[in-house]
């Protein structure tokens, strides 16, 4: 390839880190690039909760417009932020190998101060709806802007208070230290990638992630075959398959990323294990599904998993979510 590829990225620290990773991988394959920095609507409005803004595509549409107007050649996104239906004229070109998919709780103080309220015994999370889960009734206050995280937290801890948390990673971490909250929920990959994961944090092993959480997607124009071929060198097939399954699950159920829908597909020894669920916004209702199939037979696994939930009555939860957002 003779031309210098223009890489579009948001100008947040995490977004730039991700774009630089792509730049380095392309350089290793002999492809020259330059970074083009942009600010999305989601970066400008740091106060309004994402689910009130109309979050679908809020972090991607600025870069989509730049791609379609030929101001950049490719864009790098946190995959969980990308709408399940890409803009017309734009295609998925590669998915990098996935980092941690987990959510973590960053604590205001020490874990020992609130371990009883969280049901943590000997450093381990107790099982929900199990006799081993014994929690006190302290009304902890936890911060997050994610409707998915809120629903899962309220399902487990209905007596807790959830507060909105917006801003870039550095701003959100500062708010935790300055607030009277007991903790805030973050994506592990985001903090770990830029070396900001605090020591006083704990993985939420019981919390199922957003579809494609921890993965990085690269997109380009549909008619730019040269760039698509170059980016294909970076694609990780296992991550691409697993995230496709998760996003198909989301798309079949509802379609938007600002929903209490979670999914995780994991590839091991030629098989894919899938877990997914949908909750009501208040966390009171929850429906789950899971599958274990050979990877070669998983092309429509996400859709079938969603259809399994819908056949068992998940459409009532879906309709309630749609009506709440109307």
- Same topology, domains 1-97+215-235 and 237-326? Answer is no
Q: Tokens at residue 168, please?
A: 């870039």
Task: State the first-to-last Cα distance of the chain, in angstroms, to the nearest integer.
Answer: 48
CA distances from 173 to 18, 108, 160, 183 (A): 19, 10, 20, 10
Position 125 confidence tier, pLDDT thresholds 50, 70, 90:
confident
Identify the architecture of domain 1-97+215-235 in CATH.
3-Layer(aba) Sandwich (3.40)
SS3 219: strand
pLDDT at 41: 53
Convert the pLDDT of each residue in 208-249 to its tens digit.
Answer: 999 999 999 999 999 999 999 999 999 999 999 999 999 999
Domain 237-326, CATH 3.30.160.40 — does that match? yes
Q: State the average pLDDT over residues 184-199.
A: 95
pLDDT at 53: 31
Convert the pLDDT of each residue in 51-60 to its tens digit.
Answer: 333 344 566 8
Q: Of 236, 289, 300, 223, which Cα lies nearest the Cα of 262? A: 289
Convert the pLDDT of each residue in 5-38 to its tens digit.
Answer: 999 999 989 999 999 999 999 999 999 999 999 9
Instruction: Calculate what percentage of the chain has a pLDDT beyond 90.
Output: 77
Own/partner pairs for 113-118, CB < 8 Å, 24+ apart? 114/138, 114/140, 114/182, 114/183, 117/157, 118/157
Q: State the average pLDDT over residues 267-291.
A: 96
State the Cα–Cα distance between residues 84 and 88, nearest whole angstrom.
Answer: 12
Q: Which of 73, 81, 103, 248 is catalytic?
A: 81
Predicted model pTM: 0.89
Quote the mean pLDDT of the chain: 89
pLDDT at 129: 46
| pLDDT above 60 (res 315) | yes
Residue-range domain boundaries for the chain: 1-97+215-235, 103-203, 237-326
pLDDT at 48: 37
State the Cα–Cα distance between residues 145 and 244, nearest whole angstrom.
Answer: 24
Active site residue 236: no
Domain 103-203, CATH 3.40.190 — does that match? yes
- At 67, which helix (H) or strand (E)? helix 61-68
pLDDT at 258: 67
């Amino acid at each position: 390839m003779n031309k210098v590829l223009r890489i579009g990225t948001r100008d947040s620290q995490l977004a730039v880190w991700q774009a630089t990773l792509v730049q380095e991988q392309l350089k290793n394959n002999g492809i020259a690039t330059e970074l083009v920095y942009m600010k999305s609507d989601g970066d400008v409005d740091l106060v309004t909760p994402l689910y009130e803004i109309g979050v679908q595509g809020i972090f991607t549409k600025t870069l989509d417009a730049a791609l379609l107007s030929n101001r950049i050649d490719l864009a790098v996104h946190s995959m969980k932020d990308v709408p399940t239906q890409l803009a017309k004229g734009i295609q998925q070109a590669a998915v990098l190998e996935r980092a941690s998919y987990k959510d973590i709780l960053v604590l205001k103080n020490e874990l020992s101060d609130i371990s009883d309220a969280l049901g943590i015994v000997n450093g381990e999370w107790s099982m929900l709806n199990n006799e081993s889960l014994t929690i006190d009734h302290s009304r902890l206050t936890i911060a997050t802007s994610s409707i998915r995280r809120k629903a899962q937290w309220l399902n487990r801890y209905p007596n807790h208070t959830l507060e909105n948390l917006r801003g870039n990673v550095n701003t959100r971490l500062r708010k935790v230290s300055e607030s009277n909250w007991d903790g805030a929920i973050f994506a592990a990959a985001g903090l770990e990638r830029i070396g900001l994961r605090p020591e006083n944090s704990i993985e939420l092993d019981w919390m199922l992630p957003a579809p494609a959480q921890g993965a990085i997607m690269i997109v380009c124009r549909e008619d730019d075959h040269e760039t698509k071929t170059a980016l294909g060198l970076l694609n990780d097939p296992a991550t691409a398959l697993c995230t496709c399954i998760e996003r198909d699950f989301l798309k079949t159920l509802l379609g938007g990323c600002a929903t209490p829908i979670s999914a995780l597909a994991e590839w091991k020894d030629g098989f894919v294990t899938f877990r997914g669920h949908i909750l009501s916004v208040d966390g009171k209702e929850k429906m789950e599904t899971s599958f274990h199939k050979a990877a070669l037979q998983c092309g429509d696994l996400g859709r079938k998993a969603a259809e399994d939930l819908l056949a068992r009555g998940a459409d009532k939860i879906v309709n309630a979510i749609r009506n709440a957002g109307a």
